[in-house]
Amino acid sequence: MGKIPENILNEIQDKCDIVEVISSYIPLKPSGRNFKACCPFHHEKTPSFVVSPDKQIYHCFGCNSGGNVFNFLKEYEKIDFIDAVKMLAEKTGVKLPESRSHSDQDDSLVSTLYSVNDIAANYYSNLLEKLGSSLEPKRYIAKRGLDGAIIKKFRVGYADSSWKALLDYLLGRGVKQDIILKAGLIIKGKDNSYYDLFRNRVIFPIFDARDKVIGFGARVMDETLPKYINSPETAVYKKGQHLYGLNFAKTHIKERNFAIITEGYLDVITCHQYGFSNIVASLGTALTTEQIRLLKRYTHNVVMLYDADQAGEMASLRGLDLFLEEDMNVKIATLEKGHDPDSFLRKFGKEKFDEIIKKSKSLFTYKLNILQGRSNNREPESKAETIKEMLSTINRVRNAIIKAEYIKLLAQELSVREDAVWEELKKIKKDRVPHRTESIGHGTKKLIEISPAEKILAKLMLEDVNIVRIVRDELKPSDFRNQDIRNIAEALFSINIEDGLIDVSKLINSIEDKVPQNIISFIVNEEVEIRDKEKNACDCIMTIKKENRSILLKDIQNRLYAAQKSGYEEEEKRLVEEFNQLIKRGL
């Protein structure tokens, strides 16, 4: 799909409310004329994320992320602009123009990789389907107890042992070799030739939450190492930002209001086959903040499913503190030794599995039980060590009531004074696990440097077309020193506005290639009421003129000094005349 016409974008925005869209992802609370929340793009305790229903834009004054409804979806869903428009078009019932020719289609790398991954997934699944039941891949699938329906649902496939089968197939379909490489489906050999990454393995396509194939996991059918090979990170696949099976599980997670998290592809698939459809896997990584926030869209309750070896690892439990930082409720369930969810279900069945999930313990209780089992809590030093480890978790709890209850329980369990535990908590520095930052810089504040006069004047112009007329009569776009403000002024000076209102959220679309969305949201979303707009505008115009005059005078003085030092008499006379004329002319 090519560039979407501006009238279509405007129609979509007219039919949706940014408050309604954003509140479907994060809870918003009224704050005067606006709404506030803790920013979904960086960690914060005090809400600095502001949504304006009047202007239909949002801005976070903590990390300076901002823009209109399209930009929010882009950033939150991690999709490109076209996909954000498609999502809202579907929601609002606006029909997008159809592609008429290849040249009109969206040729972005992201869209191309989605397409290539989908072709590859079909290739692998067709290859598995055509194999005889006596061959090794089919015997392996049968051994794992997977039925035909679940294989089809998860699009499980097979890569044969030939070195270039997929490469040759994709080239035959007209896919360029550099695109296949960027999709992570082939690798470069020592002789500079290319060959398939996955060979003689069962293939598990990895989907994003919108059912798009973003990568693959591949497992051997014997005990050869490495057991799994996964797609490298690509433009569409960042493993720390996705959860395996979420596309199938998200509806069931919402319905049951909790999610089960395990580790492997087969664990998820087997659980779904047995009717546990609210389960996802972490793609073999320690859980990240991005994965937790992704899950948080559907529930605030999680059960971590550990095998016996994982259950006693304090490092794994410390990683779960991230859930507390994100205001999530996390419990832990443990399987019998020697079993993962896949093998446990096949041996003991769904009732026993369900029983284990129902008996899951809170992170507080589970962690305290492990610590008490490891040490003699009758000794003061041992108690102090246990309390220190527990407080590192309690310290992450946001809710003051829950935190107070945990402190009370900890003091009771270890027979120590509650006030002493509170004293120890005060000593702990909030050494939070650092958040991974996004490519756009979320998590670290993006600096926006605009002079106060230019910022106020831009705000007034964006709010009132009458101010645009006043400024246009007094200043040129080049009089603004900040390039973004200069571009905003240029756009406002050139557009024909019939009434006294400027639709900022739509203006963003027309000048996005010149001005970052967060610059405009930063300017207009600041909760400062300016009463006498014309007087303030005139004051800002005067300030800008004075600052520009001062800068120009200083520049002439510097050049004059250089001319005098070099003995350029003609240049010296010309600059003196220019300086005097500027002084006489005034503002």
**Residue 531 sits in a domain of what CATH number?**
1.10.860
Question: Does 95 share its domain with 112?
Answer: no
Q: Say if strands 157-159 and 186-188 run parallel, antiparallel, or are unpaired.
A: unpaired
pLDDT under 50 in the chain at which residues? 1, 100-107, 312, 430-443
Nearest to 240 by CA among 275, 278, 287, 172: 287
- Using the 3D structure, point to which of 102, 119, 153 is the last residue of a domain: 102
* Cβ-contact 549, 587 below 8 angstroms: yes
538-to-466, 494, 534, 546 alpha-carbon distances in Å: 12, 21, 6, 12
C-alpha to C-alpha distances, 451 to 113, 279, 442, 481, nearest whole angstrom: 43, 51, 24, 9
Asked whether residue 467 falls in the same domain as residue 354, the answer is: no
The number of domains in the chain is 4
Residue 313: inside a domain, yes or no?
Answer: yes
Which of 77, 102, 127 terminates a domain? The answer is 102
| Domain co-membership, 292 together with 268 | yes
Same domain, residue pair 98 and 110: no
Backbone dihedral angles phi then psi of residue 277, each to the nearest 5 degrees: -95, 5
Residues 470 and 567 in one domain: yes
Say what the pLDDT of residue 551 is: 87
CB-based contacts of 167, cutoff 8 Å, min separation 6: 177, 180, 185, 186, 194, 195, 196
Judgement on whether residues 88 and 111 belong to the same structural domain of the protein: no
272 with 409, same domain: the answer is: yes
The answer to whether residues 92 and 114 belong to one domain is: no
Closest-CA residue to 267 (of 204, 339, 337, 341): 341
Residues 152 and 279 placed together within one structural domain of the fold: no
Last residue of a domain, one of 437, 466, 490: 437
* Residues 150-174 as b or e (16 or more Cβ within 10 Å = b): bbeebbbbbbbeeeebbbebbeeee
pLDDT of residue 499: 52
Dig out the tokens for 260 from the structure: 């089960």
Q: Identify whether residues 168 and 79 lie together within a single domain.
A: no
Q: pLDDT, tens digit, for every residue of 318-343?
A: 678 888 887 789 999 988 888 888 88
CA nearest neighbour of 206 among 218, 196, 194: 218
Q: Kindly report, residue by residue over 574-587, the tens digit of the pLDDT.
A: 888 888 887 877 65
Q: Are 409 and 445 in contact (CB under 8 A)?
A: no
- Asked if 472 and 493 count as a contact pair (C-beta separation under 8 A), the reply is yes
How many residues belong to the chain?
A: 587
Could you tell me which of 62, 27, 57, 28 has the C-alpha nearest to residue 42? Answer: 62
Number of neighbouring beta carbons within 10 Å of residue 140: 16
* CATH code (residue 378): 3.40.1360.10
37 forms bridges with which residues in the sheet? 49
CB of 382 closer than 8 Å to CB of 375:
yes
Whether residues 292 and 430 fall in one domain: yes
Per-residue confidence (pLDDT) for residue 29, from 0 to 100: 92
Q: Both 135 and 108 in a single domain?
A: yes
Interhelix angle 136-143/109-130, rounded to 10 degrees, is 90
Q: Which residue's entry shows tokens 């194939």?
A: 213
Q: In this predicted structure, what is the pLDDT of residue 471?
A: 92
**281 is in which domain, residue-wise?**
247-437
